[in-house]
Structure 1
Amino acid sequence: MITGGELGPGDRLPVEKELAERLGVSRGSLREGVRALTVLGVLDTRQGDGTYVTSLDPARLMSSLQFVVDLHGDTSARPFHAVRRVLETEAAGLAAHRITPEALEEARAVLDLAARTLAQDEVDHAAFIEADTAFHRIVSEQGGNPVVTALVEAIAGRTFRERLWRGRHEEGAEERTQRDHEAVWRALAAGDAEAARVRMAAHLLDVEESLPTPARLDEAAQPDES
């Protein structure tokens, strides 16, 4: 009914008895189906009110991918980052033609915040990662493809430990990230799609090649005594 267009975002499902009869299934089977679709983010059951179709927003529907990354991130990080690189490289190219002045200004503010963080005597690595994530989110959103944005968020948003290790233990890593981001921003500001793709690809390849091993990731959980 949903894929056929009979039910759309925000619509309320018929009552259980009516829906079970219409679909020709038992009410028990129907409940199982509703539970499964709720877990997938397709349906939303409201106590005492009924069951509704969600917004069907890609970010919501793909949220389960974050759990997949969590399960495999420590041991299979590179394949996930390779996918991220492909997606974000294209998103950067698209964003060069679509980015709004407001988004460009927001990205500039994020980069300035990251620069101030790096200028501190004791760098707040977690704050830098937050700024890093915010910059990539702006670029992917300005690419204009919500599916790409959702996929990037699912993958990039779950790599905190890896980036924290990199910032703490790889000398100059965060400074390189900042320079790379600045280069991407300049390409976006110039509306140069090819340069934006090249700069983003080079940046993410550098990150990908410096990913820590699972054993080293454990160090990121320890207090930074430096």
Structure 2
Amino acid sequence: MSLTNKAIARIRELIQSGELEPGSKLPPEQELAAELGLGRNLLREAVQALVAMRVLEVRRGSGTYVTSLEPKELLHGVGGAVELLRGDTLLEVIEVRRLFEPVATALAATRISQQQLASVKEHLDAMRAAADDVELLNRHDAAFHREVIAATGNETLSAVLEGIAGRTVRARVWRGLVDDRAAGRTLAEHEAIYNALAAGDAFLAQSAAMMHVNTTETWLRAHL
């Protein structure tokens, strides 16, 4: 383990032990370096790395603080990592989506509020109106799923699925540009998901979401 990684580990230990809680301010640099037995340059490198990980944040004129440590903060980097994946890893991303999204949609069916359901419906209506505009349709497609996953109330699940959304959205755009029947099938699949959510039927919601993800995965396997 490099010296920088050891320094990062020491700061993480302070956070994990509760000595530094979410939102708390780090001690002055010289004091913290002495407490951890680190050189100031090494401490700065560790702090910079933890800022990049969204564990710490620097507030100009105020100091360095522990972030909220909420999933949306700590898992923010997942999307950036997924964007760098190459080759057949797109299919792996779709497989991950297939493992998580149908179960999440089932959970959403048991928890979704009327306000959230109305928001899902708005995106479904927007998809219908944008049927001839592939990129606009897929933006509302992504927003539709984002609203559904948010309805689970599970921030970790939302952050993970949002992290893989970028590549799957691009895959759907590509499919829409190449397959002129994709828009009609996509709308029908989303209508099935919405109807299951509106009925509060978890089993039907999971089945509809599984069918939707499988359609994309099957098409990609045939064309990659």
Q: Which amino acid aligns with 1:20?
A: A
Q: How many Å separate the matches in 2 of 1:188 and 1:6?
A: 43
Residue of structure 2 in register with 1:29 after alignment? 42
* Structure 2 residues not aligned, in runs of 5+: 1-13
Residue of structure 2 in register with 1:43 after alignment? 56
Residue of structure 2 in register with 1:148 after alignment? 157
Question: In proportion to residue count, which structure has more helix?
Answer: 2
Corresponding pairs, count: 211
Q: How many Å separate the matches in 2 of 1:2 and 1:133?
A: 35
Q: Which amino acid aligns with 1:54?
A: T
The alignment partner of 1:159 has SS state of helix
Q: How many Å separate the matches in 1 of 2:96 and 2:213?
A: 10
Identity of aligned residues (%): 41
Q: CA deviation at 1:170?
A: 1.0
Q: How many Å separate the matches in 2 of 1:212 and 1:162?
A: 11
Query: Are the equivalent residues in 2 in contact too, given 1:99–1:142 (CA < 8 A)?
Result: yes
- C-alpha RMSD of the superposition: 1.7
Residue of structure 1 in register with 2:218 after alignment? 209
Deviation per CA, 1:133-163, whole angstroms, max 9, x where unpaired? 0110011111121111001101013334322
Q: Among 21, 24, 34, which residue is 1:8 paired with?
A: 21
Query: Are the equivalent residues in 2 in contact too, given 1:45–1:52 (CA < 8 A)?
Result: yes
Q: How many Å separate the matches in 2 of 1:68 and 1:212?
A: 22
Q: Which amino acid aligns with 2:67?
A: T
Residue of structure 1 in register with 2:85 after alignment? 72
Q: Among 134, 143, 152, which residue is 1:134 paired with?
A: 143
Structure 2 matches for 1:162-173, cutoff 5 A? 162-173=171-182
Query: Are the equivalent residues in 2 in contact too, given 1:89–1:198 (CA < 8 A)?
Result: yes
Q: Which amino acid aligns with 2:189?
A: D
Q: CA deviation at 1:73?
A: 4.9
Deviation per CA, 1:52-83, whole angstroms, max 9, x where unpaired? 11122212211221122111155410111111
* Structure 1 residues not aligned, in runs of 5+: 217-226
Q: CA deviation at 1:128?
A: 0.3
Q: Which amino acid aligns with 2:17?
A: G
Residue of structure 1 in register with 2:7 after alignment? none
Residue of structure 2 in register with 1:59 after alignment? 72
Q: How many Å separate the matches in 2 of 1:62 and 1:74?
A: 23
> Normalization by structure 2: what TM-score?
0.88
Moved over 4 A (4+): none
Deviation per CA, 1:91-133, whole angstroms, max 9, x where unpaired? 1111111000000011111101111111xxxx11111011100
